[in-house]
């Protein structure tokens, strides 16, 4: 989307930037503890975000970003940490490179649109300083908390479809009436310019009507071939980190962002092996609930069934596709060693427990790659909580 800056530069000649009155341009608008955010910083950041086509109101987003960055940089300084000029220069070059521009070319394009180099540099510096601070604070503990079993479970949950699997995020905008359709198509054209996972997730939470909106639009791994024809063709043309053009589907216009993809060895979802236990508790549902509450693993059910006819406890490992439909449906929502009493057998209540999921075919995904994905997800969640705590303990005063 950044090549649009050239066009925007031309538009700037027709629609010049109207800064705040000269005497008030450096007046404080927000104070975060001892850090002051000025009107000039706020106006500059809003214009910068507008050029990047960030979703939402650029003024509101700019104010929120600058407050967060003040809180973050205060924490970085309190920890005695510094970001080297070399690291900042490398990050500036990487950011500009997304638009196939050098840092100098990118800064020139910004300047033609009324955005100073210092605004770009401050934005990037705050981002890498916070990233390094969070890594130093949480990475070791987060890495130690991720076990090989968790990685195996993640691989197993993704299924084993042969060929290509994709990891998508989605935004669905309604087109149920002519009015909403027009508004949604206009918004979709803007959101299609997003080139950052976090920005896409924020837009999904704000605008999407899909059930995945609360997760930032994130979906689980899915086989490319299982996608609808019109969607599959669009997604197949993406590379990780790209957002699709708007796609018209039933009652909605959709956007898809490809977060990752992988090739796996031949297989099918039915090749996913499931180790489960089904205990027949009898007609009393309360008795089944009591058993469910008393066991922690599948092996515990052997003690419960001791002395009973062998048909009262079924324990087997079978391909997922061979499971009875009601068991397969109930198992899909269970974690390992989690149980449910939702399955019945005749007049009898049961306790169904998932013992293990096993990939029917070996994925070509490296354990280290999955471990890194889990680590990043965990640190992201910790960083969000950490920032919320820092903000709660900061004195934030709105002055304008």
Q: Hey, how many other C-beta atoms are within 10 angstroms of the C-beta on 76? A: 21
Q: pLDDT-derived band of residue 276, with 50, 70 and 90 as boundaries?
A: very high
Report the C-alpha gap between 254 and 209 in whole angstroms: 10
Residue 266 predicted with pLDDT over 70:
no
**Over the stretch 140-196, which tens digit does the pLDDT of each residue have?**
776 666 665 655 555 554 444 345 778 899 999 988 788 888 889 999 999 999 988
Q: What is the mean pLDDT of residues 259-275?
A: 64
Looking at residue 21, its pLDDT comes to 43
Per-residue pLDDT at 25: 74
How far apart CA 235 and CA 239 sit, in angstroms, is: 8
Over the chain, what is the mean pLDDT?
Answer: 80
The gap from C-alpha 345 to its chain's centroid, in whole angstroms, comes to: 40
Domains 4-144+392-398 and 273-358 share a fold: no
* Tens digit of each residue's pLDDT (9 = 90 or more) over 37-90: 999 999 999 999 888 877 778 888 889 899 999 999 999 999 999 888 888 888
Second-level CATH architecture of 160-264: Roll (3.10)
Distances (CA, A) of 167 to 209, 226, 316, 371: 19, 13, 31, 16
Angle at 226 between CA 225 and CA 231, to 5 degrees: 80
Helices (H), 158-210: 178-191, 197-207
Q: What is the pLDDT of residue 214?
A: 84
Gyration radius of the chain over CA positions: 26
pLDDT of residue 1: 42
What pLDDT is attached to residue 149? 60
- Helix%, strand%, coil% for the chain, nearest 5: 50, 20, 30
Instruction: Tell me the C-alpha distance between 157 and 152, whole Å.
Output: 9
| Token pair of 325 as six digits | 């439909």
pLDDT of the residue at 2: 44
Can you state the angle between helices 4-14 and 103-112, rounded to 10 degrees?
A: 30
Torsion from C-alpha of 352, 355, 359, 363, nearest 10 degrees: 120
The class of domain 4-144+392-398 in CATH terms is: mainly alpha
Give 362-388 pLDDT, tens digit per residue. Answer: 444 445 555 565 666 667 777 888 888
Mean pLDDT across 22-28: 70
CATH number of 273-358: 3.10.50
pLDDT digits (tens, 9 = 90+) for 79-104: 999 888 888 888 898 888 877 788 99
Q: What angle do CA 329, 330, 334 make, to 5 degrees?
A: 120
Task: Look at residue 353 in the predicted model and tell me its pLDDT.
Answer: 94
Domain range annotation of the chain: 4-144+392-398, 160-264, 273-358
Q: Which residues contact 32 (CB under 8 A, 6 or more apart)?
A: 67, 70, 71, 74, 394, 395, 396, 397
Split at pLDDT 50, 70, 90, the class of 342 is confident
Q: What is the pLDDT of residue 151?
A: 56
pLDDT of 211-265, one tens digit each? 788 888 988 777 776 677 678 778 888 888 899 999 887 778 899 999 988 765 4
| CA–CA gap between residue 95 and residue 89 (Å, rounded) | 10
The predicted structure's pLDDT at residue 15: 37
Closest CA to 280 of 304, 252, 263, 257: 304
Q: Which of 22, 264, 274 is nearest to 157 (CA)?
A: 274
Closest alpha carbon to 246 in 188, 184, 207:
188
Q: Which residues contact 103 (CB under 8 A, 6 or more apart)?
A: 89, 92, 93, 96
Share of the chain above pLDDT 90, in %: 32
227 DSSP assignment? S
Q: Where are the alpha helices (DSSP H) in the chain?
A: 4-14, 39-51, 58-78, 85-97, 103-112, 117-144, 148-157, 178-191, 197-207, 229-236, 285-294, 300-304, 325-331, 367-392
∠298-372-135 over CA atoms, to 5°? 115
304-329 pLDDT, tens digit per residue, is 999 988 889 999 988 876 778 778 77
pTM: 0.46
Give the whole-number percent of the chain exceeding pLDDT 70.
80
pLDDT of residue 239: 82
């Amino acid at each position: 989307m950044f090549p649009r800056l050239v066009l925007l530069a031309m538009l700037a000649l027709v629609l010049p930037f109207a800064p705040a009155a000269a005497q008030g341009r450096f007046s404080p608008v927000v104070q975060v503890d001892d850090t002051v955010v000025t009107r000039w910083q706020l106006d500059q950041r809003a214009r910068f975000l507008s050029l990047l086509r960030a979703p939402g109101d650029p003024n509101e987003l700019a104010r929120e970003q600058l407050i967060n960055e003040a809180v973050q940089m205060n924490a970085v300084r309190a920890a005695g940490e510094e970001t080297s000029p070399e690291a900042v220069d490398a990050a500036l070059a990487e950011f500009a490179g997304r638009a196939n521009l050098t840092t100098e070319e990118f800064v020139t394009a910004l300047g033609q649109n009324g955005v100073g180099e210092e605004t770009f540099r401050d934005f990037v510096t705050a981002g890498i300083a916070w990233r390094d601070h969070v890594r130093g604070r949480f990475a070791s503990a987060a890495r130690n908390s991720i076990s090989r079993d968790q990685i195996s479970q993640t691989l197993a949950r993704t299924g084993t479809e042969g060929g290509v699997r994709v990891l998508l995020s989605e935004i669905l905008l309604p087109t149920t009436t002519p009015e909403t359709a027009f508004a949604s198509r206009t918004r979709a054209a803007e959101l299609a310019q997003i080139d950052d996972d976090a920005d896409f997730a924020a837009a999904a939470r704000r605008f999407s009507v899909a059930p995945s909106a609360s997760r930032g639009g994130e979906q689980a791994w899915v086989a490319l071939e299982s996608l609808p024809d019109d969607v599959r063709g669009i997604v197949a043309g993406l590379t990780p980190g790209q957002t699709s053009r708007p796609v018209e589907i039933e009652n909605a216009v959709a956007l898809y962002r490809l977060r990752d993809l992988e090739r796996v060895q031949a297989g099918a979802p039915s090749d996913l092996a499931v180790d489960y236990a089904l205990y027949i508790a009898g007609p009393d549902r309360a008795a089944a609930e009591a058993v469910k509450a008393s066991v922690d693993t599948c092996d515990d059910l052997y003690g419960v069934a001791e002395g009973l006819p062998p048909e009262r406890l079924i324990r087997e490992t079978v391909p997922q596709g061979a499971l009875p439909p009601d068991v397969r449906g109930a198992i899909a929502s269970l974690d390992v060693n989690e149980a449910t009493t939702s399955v019945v057998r005749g007049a009898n209540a049961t306790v169904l427990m998932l013992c293990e999921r096993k990939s029917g075919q070996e994925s070509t995904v490296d354990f280290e790659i999955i471990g890194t994905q889990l680590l990043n997800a965990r640190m992201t969640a910790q960083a969000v909580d950490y920032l919320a705590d820092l903000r709660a303990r900061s004195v934030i005063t709105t002055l304008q």
